[in-house]
Amino acid sequence: MRLQNKIALVTGAGSGMGEAEALMFAREGATVVATDINEEAVQAVAKKIADMGGEALAIQHNVASKDAWEDVMTQVKNKYGKLDILVNNAGISLATPFEEQTEDDWARTYGININGVMFGMQQAIPLMEEKGGSIVNISSISALTGMAGAGAYTASKGAVRSITKAAAVDYGKKNIRVNSVHPGYIVTPMSAPSMEMYKDYFLTQVALPNLGNAEEVAAAVLFLASDEASHITGIELPVDGGVTAK
């Protein structure tokens, strides 16, 4: 098992890519701390892990709140005494063009997508300093290429890309690796309606025959989280079927 004896925290674990990451990590031997703003959803994921013989702790969690992060990490420290892996997966996308962005839209997007990543790393790093660890931040191909009609989302995911590199440089000597994963057109329960509606267009953008799925993203995250990636830090890994190759 690739994550045996590891403690892994995954945000936004109640559905989609976060759920896939939590389940895959558990299958690979990790004890999973699964957090999500939707308590019912994340409890259901924890039950799935328990039913398959794994161990999970489900916590309701607003990643945009520094106080909430402090509470989550206090629970992790008190229960497990360490943290080996953090996946900053939680995020939102408000598809509105620049001229229609409100101050509240901007603040909400940044609060979840980048402040949540920053708070998470601030709280995780002290628990990793003694023995090292791996942080994987979920960004987007929009951070690499731009995306029409989603200015705040694109900007926030670009910030995730940059803060990942900064943290990788700052904490590499402590054996804390920090990498970003950049999903492309991925079919999840949340994205499925629009992916189906515009499938023909999306397929013209993807080099491979099919759109991606949450498990394919989770597999990339698993690799970066595992010791197999022990000499990899500061990279941006697209999981996009070749969109950014064009």
Enumerate the active-site residues. 153
Closest residue by Cα to residue 147 from 138, 156, 136? 156
Specify the long-range contacts of residues 157-165, CB closer than 8 Å, at least 24 apart.
Answer: 157/91, 157/113, 157/182, 159/110, 159/113, 159/114, 160/88, 160/113, 160/114, 160/117, 161/236, 163/114, 163/117, 163/118, 163/121, 163/137, 164/135, 164/137, 164/139, 164/234, 164/236, 165/234
Closest residue by Cα to residue 95 from 212, 193, 218, 206? 193
